Amino acid sequence: MRRVYYRKYVYHTLLCFISALLYLWQNSINAFPEIAGFRALPLIPFIVCITVFNPETAGIIYGVVAGLVMDISWSRTSGFNALTLFVICTVLGLLIRFLFNRSLASTLMLSGIICLIYFLIYWLCFCVFAGLKETAYCLFSIYLPMAVYTWVFTIPSYFLVGFMTDKFRND
């Protein structure tokens, strides 16, 4: 009985540690690779993969905590990331439980949709509703390429979280 709990603690500790490293990596200035000036948010696909491989509650907790940490470092979002990742992880957890399986194809599809939704909501809140000019230009030249660049990180996240789930979880 204790060994099961020990494995679960190690599993979640490693997930938290990797999430923290991804957060630090995505917010570092020179360590993260930029493609044509675009930066990805690899923490989002990692949280998506955690939600895919774990029960809804764990995915929601990881999503909210990741969103809160992202909100702390971004001064103008004021709870945007926490709320958005809460809703995304809740819906994703329910979709995985009742509709989809945990295959790579369904995870890639759902992660792509989630990246598009996240960046579209971000664009709506901080470009359109803020009254910025050239919002269509911002959408097609900044936010959609960022969504695609972020989505690319789903594949390594899927295999990493899947390996860790097979190795450490017994429930």
Q: Residue 160 — pLDDT band, cuts 50, 70, 90?
A: very high
What pLDDT, on a 0 to 100 scale, did the predictor assign at position 170? 58
Task: Please report the pLDDT score of residue 127 as a whole number.
Answer: 81
pLDDT of residue 47: 94
User: Taking the model in full, what pTM does it have?
Assistant: 0.89
Residue 80's nearest CA partner among 130, 30, 33, 15 is: 130
pLDDT tens, position by position, 52-67: 998 888 889 999 999 8
